[in-house]
Chains A and B, each alone.
Chain A
């Protein structure tokens, strides 16, 4: 049985009775097949009993919480059951050795940038981006410090956003990327998707022997699971950005799916529902993997990225970031 993600958008209670997990609200009591759950994403106001948490921990199911605004709050990350002392030491080694850390940091930025380039070509708004990117990638290779790597990354991103807008319909332009709070619809949508993607990556890392707090581009442990932030650089353009674009260009989202608050522009409940259902669909789509010679889902690509990182760390094969061929 393929395990699936469970998203709780409505309010209710999650509890355990005997060996069954239930979700109950005014619509009734729904039993959940725990063996079929991969992880849980909570958006509604949900009460979880400690018994339910014990059960979820036993089954190795992570639970991710998002606040009223759809921003990531934190995860119930069950005790690690997959440990490899050897790998932890290699992870630390690649952080402590400045050269090794820089190499990985550069690779994450490089992969991210090439995926942005891929998007702009798909959207036919490349408009000199590739040329600019070549120069910036050269600078990236010459970067001697993590801060320099970060600077190059910021410049690439700026160049990318300015062109991306050319493909977006009126009323859904990014104009300027704003986060807390997102100042317009597109910013709100991008932030919402990025949060969700980040949590997906946390779940994937939980299912590997990698320690999620040791990272290379981001500072380790600097808020949350920073290795998931590193990996999300690769996946943001090809998962979040593409989906955000599709949702607005295909008119699946309208202005009515957003609301304005003191905290900026936010998705409505209906908007979140739409976005999350499309997100799930997107991640379950499969593509032919040229190396593995089989179909893998887009979600699985995240796990494969973790495996590639493991192989880099133990010295089997140099990490090559995923560059979308699809």
Chain B
């Protein structure tokens, strides 16, 4: 069964009984943040966002808008929003990133999308783009479902905490939009 994002028809919706996935309500960004910083994840999930002020975020947005202007972008599927997709024999999920410094987080985010789509019965593969480095990296799910399930549980645990986890000061904090909030 394939998923048609353009379908607004009731019957069509009835055909995909598993959509939306009520047990998967977290976003790709949340999975990403889990591997960057649990404190940031908590604040972000509670709506205390700082991204609007971060120049790195702006730069990423700009790159995404300009570099892949002709792609089918910001594809919303339930609770996930994919940078852009390409349709072929299998659906290709594309994520655009600035640098490789958070590679693990990027990979897990892409894996989560693949996991999510698989639950919907959609076969897909993922490509991470690093246009500034002129590099791409392919990510496949095979056999890594357990890793993703563990991450999902951890995101849910952190989101349910009454207060954010204590931050840990690392080098990456200096570039983070939450720096002042965490350390003031």
Contacts and interface: CB of A to CB of B under 8 A. Distances in A.
B22 to A, nearest CB: 20
B47 interface: yes
Contact of B164 (A60, A304, A316): A316
Interface in B38-85: 46-49, 52-53
Contacts of A310: 48, 181
B163 interface: yes
Interface string A299-326: 0000110011011001110000000000
B49 A314 contact: no
Given A314-B163, A315-B163, A316-B163, A84 B183 contact: no
Interface in A264-319: 289, 291-292, 303-304, 307-308, 310-311, 314-316
B180 interface: yes
B167 to A, nearest CB: 9
Contacts, number: 48
Contacts of A308: 184
Given A82-B52, A315-B163, A292 B184 contact: yes
A26 interface: no
Contact of A87 (B48, B162, B181, B184): B48
B47 to A, nearest CB: 3
Contact of B47 (A60, A85, A303): A85
Interface residues of A, number: 22
Contacts of B48: 84, 86-87, 209, 310, 314
Q: Looking at B46, B48, B52, which has the most chain A CB atoms within 10 Å of its CB?
A: B48
Interface string A122-138: 00000000000000000
A64 to B, nearest CB: 20
Contacts of B181: 307, 310-311
A304 B49 contact: no
A151 interface: no
A84 B180 contact: no
A82 B184 contact: no
A25 interface: no
A10 interface: no
11 contacts: A84-B48, A85-B47, A86-B46, A87-B48, A209-B47, A291-B183, A292-B180, A310-B48, A314-B46, A314-B48, A316-B163
Interface of A: 60, 81-87, 207, 209, 289, 291-292, 303-304, 307-308, 310-311, 314-316
